[in-house]
Amino acid sequence: MKNDCSSAQKGSLALEFAGSQLISDIAHVFVMFRTNTEISFMK
């Protein structure tokens, strides 16, 4: 039982980490896109 609990905890931690990585990637792409759009609008 103890082993199952720890492995499940590790799984949720990995899931949270992957989720935060995904969110930061999307935020980065969004910022890059916005910056590029603003630059093209300035021209």
Domain ranges of the chain: 1-43
Q: Which residue has the tokens 């910056």?
A: 35
19 against 41, higher pLDDT: 19
Q: State how far the Cα of 31 lies from the Cα of 14, in Å rounded to an integer.
A: 26
* pLDDT (tens digit per residue) in 15-40: 888 899 999 999 999 999 999 888 77
- Give the pLDDT score at 15: 86
- At residue 43 the predicted structure's pLDDT band, cuts being 50, 70 and 90, is low
Overall pTM > 0.85: no
Cα–Cα distance for residue pair 30/3, rounded to 1 Å:
40
What does the pLDDT read at residue 41? 76
